[in-house]
Amino acid sequence: MTIEDELTDAMAAHVAGVQAPPDLGGSVRRRNRSRVLRFRVAGAALVTAAVAVAVPVALNSGEPAGGNVASGQNRAVMQEDVTVPDVTGKTATEATEALRAAGLLADLAATEVRNNRVTDQKPAAGQQVTPGSHVELTLEPPPVTMPQDLGDLGDGREFGGIRLDYLPEGLEWGKWSGKDGFGKRSYTTTFDKPGNEPGHYSVQVIVFEDAAAKSALTRFPEDGAESVDVGGEKARLATLSEGGEIVPDGSEEGTLTIAWKLRDGLAVEVCLSPDYVKDVDGRAEAKKIAEGIRATG
């Protein structure tokens, strides 16, 4: 067996064990975090995956520069360093092909296995590396898609049998809606400052009908919640943790929530995210939003 054959076998053995693992999927619990929605939304789960894809490298064969070696002795195949090409802006497929043509391997690190475009590479373009070196590629993340269970709500203020007559200045509809996330016949949507990423919210409103309405207020602890009047109905106002415990207002581990029965068979919750509460008088705004909600049916 020649030294070229030995090198080829060695390289094949080196890359044989490198393969893409299965996708790692997981729903993000969207309950009480300032940067995400507060409940699990079918169709809006974020998927993450770490991928390492081995691309075969073409080895150049030939005699080393500078003459021959003695017969019967091992010969060393000398290869010059190669320049890393610039593959940013290319699709994953295009980048992989460009690196392979340069004698390099592509490692993909992306939030989803898809043919997104390359946003970063290591080593950077122009660096000198040995043939067969790995170049880590970072791909643009996949777009976050939000469900539209209730269809186009216009300004978002009317849904699930209610209408919001008051909304804090500077907020607009989050352009998504969910159904039955809090029990059968429950509906929700959010409002946020323009320009924030999908999944972020400032104010979330949840409507409970029929059986769901009966359990809407049971999440609040019996003691510790502030009792306020909303349209003649007793409402409960508190900052609740993920587990339902009352925590101090402004806590990153809690969501300021007001809940009340709008009428028989119809209950409402209004939630303000922790980061939004830092910018406003959270309790005052929660009460004003609640007082401006009326039944439409």
Q: Tell me which residue of 22, 88, 2, 99 sits closest to 54, measured CA to CA.
A: 99
Q: What is the mean pLDDT of the chain?
A: 77
**Does residue 193 surpass a pLDDT of 90?**
yes
Domains (range + CATH), the chain: 3-30+47-139 (3.30.10.20), 158-295 (2.60.120)
The two tokens of residue 217 are: 């207020």
| Beta strand pairing call for 233-241 and 24-25 | unpaired
**Does residue 188 surpass a pLDDT of 60?**
yes
Mean pLDDT computed over 172-196: 94
Residue 215: the pLDDT is 78
The span from the first CA to the last CA of the chain, in angstroms, equals 85
Q: How far apart are CA 89 and CA 99, in angstroms?
A: 14
Mean pLDDT computed over 43-66: 33
pLDDT, tens digit (0-9, with 9 covering 90-100), for 238-278:
999 988 899 998 888 899 999 999 999 999 999 999 999 99
Spatial CB neighbours of 89, under 8 Å, sequence gap ≥ 6: 117, 118
pLDDT, tens digit (0-9, with 9 covering 90-100), for 71-128:
444 444 567 899 999 999 999 999 999 999 999 999 987 555 667 899 999 999 999 9
Q: Is the dihedral of CA 281, 287, 291, 297 positive or negative?
A: positive
**Does residue 59 surpass a pLDDT of 80?**
no
Residue 222: the pLDDT is 74
CB atoms within 10 A of CB 266: 20
pTM as predicted? 0.61
3-state secondary structure of 230: strand
**Does residue 24 surpass a pLDDT of 90?**
no
289 phi, psi to nearest 5 deg: -60, -45
216 phi, psi to nearest 5 deg: -60, -35
149 phi, psi to nearest 5 deg: -60, -30
